[in-house]
């Protein structure tokens, strides 16, 4: 349920239109695609200041508590403008999973960082929630809390602060968070859309945090 009033929603929509007119031009697109990130970090920070990155995040974690309608409004605006930012993975899919899971101190910190614009999430694996699925991904989880394996088509995987790896394991889907503070290998891949920055991620005994309590 949205905590945003109709007047606030209208104001957000009008501000979004003005923002995209000012920031989503050809020059921004080109400079973003030529950067290491694949998008303009200054634009991403402006989105955070406007509250757009926290549109789907509860006010408890620094977001603005928008509904699916509010989130779709922002996503559609970004899509129409072709602004190359990792909004869907970082600001829609990841927060939904984190808030639907058993809440931990780490989850709270990540949600807050997303809303502040200081953390991005790259998503990979073969589960249905993954935007660009890798049917051949191979991930093995060990009892000591580490994982090994490979997964391709992880968009913005080379620059993300966290990897969210979602994959089938027997009759369930497991979702594991890996911090970029840990060591893993990144191999850049090619894509028709160079702004997506796909990567192949190889992990060897890398620690993870598993999201539990959410419904498959």
pLDDT in tens, 179-206: 999 999 999 998 888 788 999 999 999 9
Contact 74, 95 (CB under 8 A): no
Same structural domain for residues 78 and 125? no
Q: Which residue has the tokens 């796909």?
A: 198
Q: Are 137 and 150 in contact (CB under 8 A)?
A: yes
pLDDT, tens only, 49-100: 999 999 999 999 999 999 999 999 999 999 998 888 999 999 999 999 999 9
Contacts (Cβ under 8 Å, ≥6 apart) of 160: 86, 90, 120, 121, 122, 154, 180
Q: Which residue has the tokens 């910190």?
A: 109
Supply 212's token pair: 């539990």
Indicate whether 147 and 99 sit together in one domain.
Answer: no
Domain span at residue 112 reads: 6-116
What lies within 8 Å, CB to CB, of 20 at 6+ separation is 77, 78, 80, 81, 83
Closest CA to 211 of 106, 67, 65, 58: 106
Q: Is residue 95 part of a domain?
A: yes
pLDDT at residue 216 tops 70? no
Average pLDDT, the chain: 93
Per the structure, the count of domains in the chain is 2
**201 plus 106 within the same structural domain:** no
CA distance 134 to 154: 9
Give the whole-angstrom CA distance, residue 160 versus residue 162. 5
Domain boundary among 77, 100, 116: 116
């Amino acid at each position: 349920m949205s905590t945003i009033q109709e007047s606030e929603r209208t104001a957000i929509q009008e501000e979004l239109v003005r923002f995209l007119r000012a920031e989503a031009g050809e020059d921004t697109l080109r400079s973003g695609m030529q950067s290491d990130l694949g998008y303009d970090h200054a634009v991403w920070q402006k989105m955070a200041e406007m509250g757009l990155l926290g549109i789907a995040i509860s006010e408890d974690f620094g977001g603005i508590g928008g509904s699916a309608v509010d989130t779709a409004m922002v996503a559609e605006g970004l899509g129409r403008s072709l602004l190359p930012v990792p909004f869907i993975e970082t600001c829609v899919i990841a927060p939904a999973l984190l808030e639907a899971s058993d809440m931990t101190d780490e989850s709270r910190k990540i949600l807050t960082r997303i809303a502040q614009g200081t953390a991005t999430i790259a998503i990979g694996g073969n589960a249905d929630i993954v935007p660009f699925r890798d049917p051949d991904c191979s991930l093995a989880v060990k009892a000591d809390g580490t994982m090994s394996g490979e997964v391709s088509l992880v968009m913005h995987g080379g620059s993300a602060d966290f990897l969210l790896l979602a994959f089938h394991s027997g009759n369930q889907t497991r979702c594991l968070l890996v911090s970029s503070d840990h060591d893993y290998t990144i191999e850049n891949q090619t894509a028709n859309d160079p702004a997506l920055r796909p990567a192949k991620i190889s992990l060897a005994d890398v620690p993870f945090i598993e999201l539990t309590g959410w419904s498959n």
